[in-house]
A and B are shown apart, each in its own frame.
Chain A
């Protein structure tokens, strides 16, 4: 089956640093990748939609300068949390799909980000 690898799974860093999270599709070409954020005991909220070779589309209320998304190839998308602060601490999870329509989304295992 389709596999999406997300790295790192857990990161702890100091306030003010930038953190990069990678999302890779291992055995299929991901034309579209999605980045979600999940606060404790809450649902997943879409942050942005990333299409290969084009700028990401951010959801309302998500700061594009804060959360930099790059989708340079059909197998890799990255999310960089710039100048991270404690309020950015959360669980970030990516998903990838090939094409539109009924193509299922395949999720990474998520990244737990803790900012001290």
Chain B
């Protein structure tokens, strides 16, 4: 079975600083996709960034980037120049065999002004 593990229940970062959220996963698929989603208090699920496993280059989206270590099955999210609006729950996810998403338990990120 596929699993996604986020070992940091909570993280805190100073505004304008950089923070890294950790995620490890386990899958038997040879080709797969990984995602980071943000869930603010409104509980909307917002896609932050995605990575195709066959691509060696790490995905980047403005202030968000990932460190994808395929051999280690690690997929961490780096947020640069943190902003107050970045405060939210962050979920790491992998794509399941039916196209569904398998989520980690989440990391609550607080941003201090």
Contact = CB atoms under 8 A, between A and B. Distances in A.
B101 A95 contact: yes
Name A's interface SS: strand
B44 A105 contact: no
A42 interface: yes
B64 interface: no
Contacts of A34: 99-101
Nearest to B106: A43
A32 B43 contact: no
A97 B106 contact: no
Interface residues of B, number: 19
Nearest to A103: B99
A43 B100 CA distance: 14
Contact of A42 (B43, B45, B96, B105): B105
Nearest to A46: B100
Nearest to A100: B99
Contact of B44 (A44, A97, A109, A112): A109
